[in-house]
Amino acid sequence: MTDQLIQRGLAQSRRLARLIVLLADRSREEFAVAIAPFGLPVPVARTLMVLSGPTPMNEMAGHLGYDPSYVTGLADQLEQRGLATRVPGKDRRIKMLQPTAEGHALRTRIMHAVDAAGAFAQSLSPAERDTLGELLERLLDPTATK
């Protein structure tokens, strides 16, 4: 590969990276706006989104990409608002976070609000969305075959 081609590839990479970061920022922004009416801080709402059923605190941290110590505080806030409760696991070191009925209902409402706000990919055809998804996945995991 000539130097020129390498240069071009790098410029292209930078452009893609910039686009992706811009889109991610917009996505975050849309999420923040969509959840504002519900009065939950963003990380608390994120936590609720991930809470589809009883889940070990441990695992929550993994899903969210947070440190477990941070999840403790988020779980506290969900409990204080009556949206989740801590229930003991079989192994008594483990605590499961479990959405209450109210928590589950709110989660559903928020998901709909987020969907409505994010007309996100509506400017692309279904086929284009498929293509985009595939390309993004290969970017995320270069070993992915298909």
* Min separation Cβ 79 and a second copy, Å: 26
Per-residue binding string, a second copy, 4-23, x by CB under 8 A, is ----xxx-xxxxxx-xxxxx
Distance CA 91, CA 70 (A): 22
Distance CA 127, CA 95 (A): 43
CA distances, 75 to each of 52, 86, 109 (Å): 14, 8, 19
Residue 142 binds a second copy (CB under 8 A): yes
Residue 44, number of CB atoms within 10 A of its CB: 21
Residues 57 and 68 sit within 8 Å (Cβ to Cβ): yes
Which member of 93, 119, 145, 146 binds DNA (CB under 7 A)?
93
Per-residue binding string, DNA, 19-48, x by CB under 7 A, is ----------------------xxx--x--
Distance CA 39, CA 105 (A): 15
User: Whose Cβ is closer to a second copy: residue 76's or residue 130's?
Assistant: 130
In the numeric block, which tokens belong to residue 145? 């075959």
Which member of 34, 48, 51, 71 binds DNA (CB under 7 A)?
71
21 binds, among a second copy, DNA, none (CB under 5 to 8 A by kind): a second copy
